[in-house]
Amino acid sequence: MKKKKLATAAILAATVIASSFGSAYAAVNLEPINAFFNRGVTFVLKGELWQPKDEDGKPLTAIHYEGSNYLPVRALAEALKIPIEFDADTQKIYIGGRPGAQTPLFAMPMEIDDIYVLASRDPAETMVHKKQFQEVLKIDQYGDIVFTTDRKYKRLVLDAAVVSPGEHTVDFSLFNASDKAGNTSQTTLQKLSVLPEDGVKRLIFNVEGLEKIKIHVQSPNLNPYIYARIVDTSFFDNGDPSAKDASGSSGTGSSGVPVK
């Protein structure tokens, strides 16, 4: 019978996240250990057998060290649909996204139909409630905006308004637009509303764990003309643990507050 292969911390680090280490870094931070590949361990994830794999699709094995089994964090995070990122400069592994980081709405991969939803930089159309923005999404009847989020974000912070001559409440509804959503793609995950008198209102949607989302914009009474705008102060982020939204909860809760 073959002896179990010894593993080093360097092997473990390379398996967890691909990166290269200089000799100076290795000398200061890497400490050799005696560990074993534990090929007898199997995994059950949410009731089903699961095989962790690396980025190339090769099976991974748990590493046994001092009575505990260790598994590469990237494989586990992706299986649980938790965003993970390695910053080589700071040698930090971010599990669940970088706190405080924001990605502007118009920097995101976005799909619009260019008929019912239009992106505009026209100064006449980017003037919203007496405030000049650089870019807006213009929805005068109804429409869908699809974003590819790749599970990297917890929140969509959407700044929206109803402009003149809009007279009706407008609903902004969140849907799961992933190819794997199946029948659940028709289920409204969240619905928040903006009234004409609200000015520019901040809507916070929980998008945690979603790979692709759709925002459907329409009057709840199916009124034909709504004159809605989504402005360029909107963004995706992972929440601010120290901040409270309008409902008094932190992080990923939904809210609607005026944008000053």
pLDDT at residue 22, as a whole number: 56
Task: Reply yes or no: is the peptide bond before residue 165 cis, omega within 30 of 0.
Answer: yes
- Cα distances from 146 to residues 86, 92, 175, 189, 191, in angstroms, run 27, 31, 9, 14, 16
Q: What is the pLDDT of residue 95?
A: 79
Amino acid at 22: G
pLDDT of residue 10: 36
Start-to-end Cα distance in the chain: 71
CA angle 62, 68, 69 (to 5 degrees): 10
> Left (φ > 0), alpha (ψ -120 to 50) or beta: where does 24 sit?
alpha
Q: Give yes or no for a contact between 10 and 26, defined as CB atoms under 8 angstroms apart.
A: yes
Domain ranges for the chain: 6-95, 102-258
pLDDT at 206: 96
The DSSP element (H or E) to which 14 belongs, if any, is: helix 9-16
Which residue ranges in the chain fall short of pLDDT 70?
A: 1-27, 97, 240-260
pLDDT score for 31: 87
pLDDT of amino acid 4: 43
- For the stretch 141-151, pLDDT in tens is 999 999 999 88
Residue 258: the pLDDT is 62
Topology at the third CATH level for domain 102-258: Jelly Rolls (2.60.120)
Q: Please tell me the predicted confidence (pLDDT) of residue 9.
A: 37
